[in-house]
């Protein structure tokens, strides 16, 4: 406890406080800008940290990482475009609330859940550094395959009244993933002799094309419902609403903590699983996707809890739990800090300053978020004739700026046209995104597991973790059908 207090004293030094505030502001900006993310933000500030001492460098990176997780929800709620992929699930209910004129309330819920999830993730990091690191090591190819299939099973809860269209949409996402080089052999697939397709179509162009450009095309076509002109008031949920949301925040934080501690899983999967599980346990699942506050609270708590959880395998084993954690690992190693079992004993001052830094970063994120809500909510009051061209222009520039490659902007435009056509025909977009996100995890680990088991598919059932995940996936696929049958049976029996 004495070392923790010393860590707080170190964190509250003027320079360290300044870098935490700067990191939070930069993180919120990086998360809110379509095309950027916590990973890109960390990579951009990495050269700045080289000139800092280890503790302020680490505090800046942690605060940026956490701020970016919240920042992605801003554009997800305001204009229906996830600033980064972990905010994808937030669009399901956040954007419908914005269209009802409740953008301020939705952003307040997002901020509250992000702060709570970040604090819970920090507590978990302090309490479970050893045990959860050992649990994460239990995941091999079979377990990761089970996790990927379970994530894809969420499609069953996103397809609405026409499951065939949802399945087609998911298969389309898996088809888009196949374009490029084979993940294991490196041989070209569906590139049609075009060298630029060797790198694949990419997740960021798809996200921007589907949720920014297609949205703009849909608005121009006159099919979109105009948002109400209000939404500035209501910076944070009222106390009564906070109490009602607290179970959703706790469930989302728990899911984010477990998935975040698994190397390679990531906040995107955690937030989508949290949204789906919150919908599953709800007595009114039909309200999700129409602007339910729980549909914002659960995924936002999950993706922020992932920040602390992803640091567990990083610090204890030197295994980054996400792409952002991998960049952070590079920053630590440049500073001469080698994560591993001896870190707690050899770098005790640094570790306890990091513990304290998590909670100070949460407070900084709260301050930045509160100051920014009145600004963010004014975005939704812009006329569509002004907003949509801006969305398309910023999205294409952001896509190009990631790698400086004009081809990425053309890919985003292609996905925008495809997404618009799907919307006009009633095909949901989210299953396509899930297919592209989970495709690499499912294919890579499926093939690795078969290689290790000499081609035997029983390996997926021999692992208790994989077997449980596959059973949960089957239950998730069948749940909508069972609910529909039960509903019809009740109507007929009346």
Tens of pLDDT along 211-259? 667 867 776 675 444 444 444 444 556 777 778 888 999 999 888 888 8
Tens of pLDDT along 375-419? 765 655 556 666 667 767 877 876 777 667 788 888 888 888 988
d(C-alpha 374, C-alpha 383), whole Å = 17
Q: At what angle do helices 14-32 and 38-49 cross, to 10 degrees?
A: 150
pLDDT at residue number 469: 84
With a cut of 50, say whether residue 473 has pLDDT above it.
Answer: yes
The residue behind tokens 């053309």 is 410
CB-CB contact of 24 with 365 (8 Å)? yes
Q: Which percentage of the chain shows pLDDT scores above 70?
A: 78
pLDDT at residue number 425: 83
Residue 107: which of 131, 124, 83, 140 has the closest Cα?
Answer: 83
d(C-alpha 106, C-alpha 73), whole Å = 9
Q: At what angle do helices 88-99 and 294-317 cross, to 10 degrees?
A: 150
Task: Look at the alpha carbons of 184, 185, 190, 192 in this order and tell me if their dihedral is positive or negative.
Answer: positive
CB-CB contact of 23 with 38 (8 Å)? no
- The three-class DSSP label of residue 113 is helix
Work out the end-to-end distance of the chain between its first and last CA atoms, rounded to an integer number of angstroms.
63
CB-CB contact of 232 with 374 (8 Å)? yes
- Angle CA 5–7–11, to nearest 5: 115
């Amino acid at each position: 406890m004495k070392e923790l207090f010393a860590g707080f004293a170190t964190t509250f030094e003027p320079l360290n406080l300044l870098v935490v505030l700067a990191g939070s502001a930069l993180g919120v900006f990086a998360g809110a800008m379509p095309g950027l993310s916590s990973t890109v933000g960390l990579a951009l500030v990495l050269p700045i940290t080289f000139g800092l001492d280890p503790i302020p460098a680490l505090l800046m990176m942690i605060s940026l990482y956490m701020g970016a997780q919240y920042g992605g929800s801003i554009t997800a709620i305001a204009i229906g475009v996830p600033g980064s992929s972990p905010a994808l699930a937030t669009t399901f209910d956040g954007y419908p609330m914005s269209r009802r004129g409740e953008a301020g309330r939705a952003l307040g819920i997002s901020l509250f859940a992000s702060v709570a999830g970040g604090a819970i993730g920090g507590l978990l990091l302090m309490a479970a550094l050893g045990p959860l690191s050992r649990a994460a090591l239990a995941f091999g190819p079979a377990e990761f395959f089970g996790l990927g299939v379970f994530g894809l099973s969420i499609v069953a809860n996103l397809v609405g009244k026409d499951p065939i269209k949802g399945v087609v949409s998911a298969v389309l996402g898996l088809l888009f993933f196949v374009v490029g080089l084979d993940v294991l052999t490196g041989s070209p697939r569906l590139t049609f002799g075009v060298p630029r397709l060797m790198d694949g179509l990419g997740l960021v162009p798809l996200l921007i094309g589907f949720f920014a450009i297609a949205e703009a095309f849909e608005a121009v076509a006159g099919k979109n419902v105009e948002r109400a002109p209000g939404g500035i008031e209501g910076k944070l949920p009222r106390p009564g609403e906070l109490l009602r949301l607290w179970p959703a925040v706790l469930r989302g934080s728990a899911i984010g903590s477990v998935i975040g501690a698994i190397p390679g899983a990531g906040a995107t999967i955690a937030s989508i699983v949290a949204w789906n599980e919150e919908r599953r346990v709800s007595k009114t699942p039909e309200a999700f996707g129409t602007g339910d506050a729980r549909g914002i609270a659960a995924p936002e708590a999950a993706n922020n809890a992932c920040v602390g959880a992803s640091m567990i395998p990083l610090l204890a084993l030197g295994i980054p739990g996400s792409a952002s954690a991998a960049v952070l690992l590079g920053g630590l190693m440049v500073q001469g800090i080698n994560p591993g079992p001896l870190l707690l004993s050899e770098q005790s001052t640094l570790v306890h300053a990091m513990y304290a830094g998590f909670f100070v970063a949460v407070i900084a994120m709260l301050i930045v978020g509160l100051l920014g809500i009145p600004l963010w909510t004014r975005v939704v009051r812009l006329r569509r004739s002004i907003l949509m061209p801006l969305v398309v222009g910023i999205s294409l520039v952001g896509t190009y700026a990631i790698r400086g490659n004009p081809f990425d902007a053309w890919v985003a435009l292609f996905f925008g046209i495809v997404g618009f056509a799907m919307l006009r025909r009633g095909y949901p977009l989210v299953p396509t995104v899930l297919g592209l996100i989970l495709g690499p995890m499912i294919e890579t680990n499926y093939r690795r597991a078969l290689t290790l088991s000499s081609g035997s598919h029983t390996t997926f059932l021999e692992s208790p973790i994989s077997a449980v995940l596959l059973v949960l996936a089957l239950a998730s696929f069948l749940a909508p059908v069972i609910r529909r049958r039960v509903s019809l049976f009740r109507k007929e029996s009346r």
